[in-house]
Amino acid sequence: MGDGWQLMRIRGIPLRVHPSWFIILVLFTLVFQQDAALLPGASGSPGLSWLLGLATALLLFVSVLLHELGHSLVALREGVKVVSITLFLLGGVARVERECSTPMGSFRVAAAGPAVSFLLAGFLLASQHAAGHANPLLGNLVERLGYLNLVLALFNLLPGLPLDGGLILKALVWQFTGSQRRGIQVATATGRLLSLTAIMLGVYLFLRGGGFTALWLVMLGWFGMGASRSQTQTLALQQLLMRLTVGPASSKRFRVLEADQSLRSLSQMRLRGAESETDLLPDWVLVCRSGRWIGYVTDQPLKDLSVQYWDRQTVGEHMRPLAELPSLQESDPLWKAVLALEQSEHGRLLVTGAAGLPSGTLDRSDVGEAVLKGLSLKLPAPLLEASRRRNDYPFGLPLLQAVTSMRASGLLDETAESLTS
């Protein structure tokens, strides 16, 4: 879902409207207009019924906005930055930079939205008689909004992700088991069950002439199933990235020259490999002397010097220290490689053994291939080579999103996130 258009800022939080929101605004206006047309004060005035339908729909989304603001303001109090609040086809969503680092903090943030909706429902239902004395149509509008807020609160308390009730369930399981991952698994499972129930109920009601309500249930269930499937896939990727290590995933995409070899040797090496090297990134050239790794050399000397100097100057005169290359140890977990690759301007990492000596290299295609093997999937060689040429993850694997979610959820130890550069 894109960000949509920004309307304003509330307490520094951007309020955005996604284009899909206008679809649901029109549908809700139509539904509420049909109900308003049956009211005694508006039955003979189509314009008034449409106005009441539009006002009800807009005020409902104001309620949704206040619901999301409840989440956001409590999140700010918990020290969590709120990126934006977006109204879209299925309601509203508050995007946060990370999750709370404690289960009870997560509980308070999740519970704040339904609490706001309950308060709004109570206030509106308590005010309906006074509003009805002033104007019967106004009283009807206030009563309807009260019940809509009550439904909004109760619906969001259903115990399954991605609803608030699922987040509350996740926080409670986290609190009692000490495992946030276990909380996510339980809430995802209940979310999947609720989504299936909503789809089946929606289909049943549609066959019985349920109309808009039935279709809305099916849409919500479908959205919930998608979110549940995405969460399950993310969990599977996260578990692999934490279990797998860099060593077995690495390849040896580097070449070796002796320090006393001439620059022409470097040129000849590049020429010999030109036909076979179709990668976006050429192999690194490491330099050794008497069996010891002492540095690496780039192609820059070949560009800076005239050809006649290539036989006079050696690779060792132009080498650079190995410490400049971004590196990880063989024993590091694979999630570290995902983060390090994003930070590396080289698009590749040097892999070192226990003694700190180079043992291989690692790029995005290597990481993706290792993850797919962990999922018992074998990537055909042409697809792997295509991924390597593009320097991206095979099949568009969302590995960076998985690791970002791990950081946001506090699943990674802060001390473990320091990367070897």
Tokens linked to 273: 């490999």
**What does residue 69 show for φ and ψ, rounded to 5 degrees?**
-65, -35
For 214: left if phi > 0, alpha if psi spans -120 to 50, otherwise beta; the answer is: alpha
134, with CB counted inside 10 A (0-12, 13-18, 19+), is exposed
User: Which residue type is seen at 211?
Assistant: G
162 HSE (CA, 13 A, CB side) = 19
277 classed as catalytic: no
Cα–Cα distance for residue pair 331/351, rounded to 1 Å = 10
CA torsion angle 304 307 308 311 (round to 10): 90
State the Cα–Cα distance between residues 47 and 395, nearest whole angstrom. 53
- The single residue of 68, 78, 99, 369 carrying the catalytic annotation is 68
Surface-to-core class of residue 257, CB atoms within 10 Å of its CB (0-12 exposed, 13-18 middle, 19+ buried): buried
Which active-site residues does the annotation give?
Answer: 68
